[in-house]
Structure 1
Amino acid sequence: MRQRLNFAQWKVIHQLIAAFGLVTVLMLALVSVSVHSISTLSATSEQALKDTFPRAMMIREVTAHLNLISQSARNAVIMTDQAQVRKELEQAADAGKRITEVLKRLEAAAGRDDEKPLLKEIAEIDAGYREVLSRFVTIVAEDRINEAKNLLLVELRPLELAYFDALDKLDARQGNAIAAANQRVDDVVASGMALVTVLAGMSLAASIAVSIVFGMQLRRRLGGEPHRAAEVARNIAGGALSVDVSVAPGDRSSVLYAIKSMRDSLADIVRRVRTGSEAITTTSQAMAAEIAEMAARAERQAAALEKTAASTGQLTSIVKRSADDAREANAHVLAASRIAARTGATVGDVVRTMELINQSAKKIVDIISVIDGIAFQTNILALNAAVEAARAGEQGRGFAVVAAAVRTLAQQSASAAKEIKELISESVDRVDSGAALATEAGSYMTELEQSVARVSSIMSDMTHAAAEQANGLEEINEAIGQMDLVTRKNAEHAAQGAETAVALERQATELHLTVKVFQV
């Protein structure tokens, strides 16, 4: 009971700190449990991702390369094209190198002792498989296909199956490790959720208890419901000093009791202020006439000021427009300069294009000379072919050689003719490009002339704007003269208002003494 009384005497801020501090401690415990669970999950997942999963991927990479070797070996004994056979054997050799690299990485990444015997078994199978594969490649290279097929079926295929079986066992170990890691994650999640649920329930219960206790303490300090205290305060603020303020018997410290005391004091003060305000009303009537006259003159002064403001605004607009025109004129001059530069560059491009056309024409002359030489050699070879054909018999092989040479030269002639066609087309395109550049240069010159014309027009507008600025300044001078006259008259009335203000000041002093009881 003593502790409860002490808590009731605490300041509101201290009660809030104590109440919400308890809730905060529970929330921090909840957050700590959540962070610990997340850290455990992160560590378990990180171990699976860094160790087990990479090993599983390396095992599957070895399996993929082994499948590629098996496929290449079968293709090598099936295909008849030697080039394709060599390509398959090279592909198998490259896959073998990759298997060697992956096995080294897999052995270095072995995480558990039970995996090392399997890795040793895979290494032994790989050594035997490489030895048989080497013999198979040699036999295939010597074109002993039947012997190679027999070696593939009798020796190489059983080793492949054993190889695949060992890889599957090692892959199954990795799968079991991943499954175990997932189970650990599930266990951590379950325990974390249970603990979080308990702490959340405790936090909710503590929040409810704190709300109830603090609500009761707050109601006792207010002397009633908060909305009742607010309603009484609004009525007093609105001037209803007759509002009823009910407090509990013996209450001398609540907010409602303080409001009731304030209402009684305000009611007495208002009665005294009302008497003084009547005297102030009489005095203020004398000032009203003078103030009305001053108000009329103030209106005329305001009109003059409006006119001044309008003139000033117009002048500002004109000056701004002049500045904008000047900037635009400058921009167009710069544009004209850039256009002239671009025109010069375009003319340079036209000159370079014409030079390229000249070079292409020279290449055409050289290629035509090559074609002439090829035609001459073709005629000579044709004569040789006729002589060889006359001999016939066993000498027919020479005719075949000559015919092949003739065919080669004919192909060169066709290639040269094609190149001539491309060069001619290129020359035509460059001529078209030169014409386009010349057209573009003419367009740039037209734009330059238009920009110069616009600069001239803008300069004319700026001259007109300067004249308008002069007119605006004259209007401002007239408005200032009117403001000066009105200001002098206002000063005369201000002197009369000062005499009236003296009487009002005496009444205000008495009123100030009356309301001095308020402490602001």
Structure 2
Amino acid sequence: MGNLKIATRLYAGFGLLVAIMVLVVSAALVQMATMRASAADVDNNWLPSVEEVNLLNTAISDYRATEMQHILNTDDVAKTTIEKDLESIQARIKTSRSKYEKLISTKEEQGLYDEFAAAREAYLKIHKEVMEFSRRNDAEGARQLLEGESKKNFERSSDILDKLVLMNHDGSVAAAKTSAEAYVAGRNMMAVAMVVAVLLALIAATYITRSITKPLSEALDVAANVATGNLTVQVHSSSRDEIGQLLQAMKAMQDSLVAVVSKVRSGSESVANASAEIAQGNNDLSARTEQQASALEETAASMEELNSAVKQNADNASQANQLAMNASTVAVQGGEVVGQVVQTMKGINDSSRKIADIISVIDGIAFQTNILALNAAVEAARAGEQGRGFAVVASEVRSLAGRSAEAAKEIKTLIGDSVSRVEQGTALVDRAGSTMTEVVTSIRRVTDIMAEISAASHEQSAGVNQVGEAITQMDQVTQQNAALVEEMAAAASSLKSQAGELVQTVAVFKLSAEQGSGRPAPPMAAPAKTAVRSSKPSLAFKGPERRADAAPVAKAPAAKPLASRPAAAKPAAPVLTAVAPKTSTRVTPAGGDDDWETF
């Protein structure tokens, strides 16, 4: 039975009780059905039969009494009313007979009822003759019939009805007796069945309880030992029921706990040692991060000064660009004025040439006038005294023509000198115009160069601003990293203490000899020492140094607004030595003039 499952045992025990209950209830139901049938027979048959027979007996008595009233009454109207009453009573008799015929249950009762029906039919035949005598008011003849055969049939019918009443009464008494006997039998049977059921229930409960509580006590002892950390207790189970399976599972759990505790014990010791090393390394990293943060602050201050200088250069370049643009405008205006002067000189040259031509014409006119004056003087000499006045005039005209010719020659000479000088001035003005054009072109090139210098200065200023912002962000990130490193150091210290607590907690469990000794865990080993920090911060970092006595500070490249974060090199276990990140820019010693190469 120990291999049966608890559910099977419980089902069997309760099934036995249910079977007994079913038998008891079935027997009780049979007895109750008998009682119900007897009661129903009394209610539905015997009592209604007695009631209907009594009603029928009363109705035939009323019918005979009404019949006698009809004989004694001589009023036709009253007789008619009495006949209606007789019809009503006959309807009652018919109804009662119809109901009673449905309630007849035995042949004896049916035989008596048939006798009643025959006597009633004979009575009704005589009733017709009685009614005929009564309607003729022959009371004597009607009374004789009524007292003769009619009375015999009436009394016979009444006696038969009394017998039927007695028969139905006896039937109801027998049904009640049957019901009482069924009650007594059912009561006795249920009492016996209850005693048997209680005994069987006690036996089944005792057996099932013992088969469950004993293995449960063993499982409870095992669980109590495991709860106190004693993993050396032996678990034995030979049954295959749920509790046997529970003990097997607890044995497997104990084995798993032994393996887990062994691993956790060794792992907790390793975690404790590693957490101590991590805490020490985080402390070193925190100090170096603080050094890096201070170096970044200095770099940020230098970048602010450099930013101010670059902004000033950009402003100066902007002013020079504006002055160059003004000079270019003035040069262009001077070039335009020189061009106008060149055009004016060309006009003067053309006018001088025209004046020379006019002077040549005047000289020709003076020559011709002189010839005309000579001709006039010749003609005046030929005329003699009459032409003397004309000769004087011709002489004056000739004198004026000569003077005009001389003046024209002088003017022509002066105009020639003026034209030659104007030509020289025009050539000089042409050269000055070409020179001014070259000056304007050069000034425009200078203006363009100054604009490029100004734009480059502004871009350089923006780049320096971006580099400054990047360094500021790097400073903020470094500060955050420093805070994070401090938190990590605190967390590592907390982890160290928790690992120690875990080691002490795991030491509570006791293991068997082949699984492991129950000795408490040894104290945590001292963590491996990290690289010794020198008094100089720079000695704690590997790689190139910017200054001989300062921590290395990597410059961010100027081409990018935000310098990418370099990946830190993995420290070698167990020594946690920080390694300086590699950057893309070249670090120059002493921070000299070569620092401007990165910009």
Considering only CA atoms, is the larger Rg found in Structure 1 or Structure 2? 2
- Of Structure 1 and Structure 2, which has the larger fraction of its residues in helix? 1
TM bracket (short chain): 0.3 to 0.5
Output the TM-score relative to the length of structure 1.
0.43
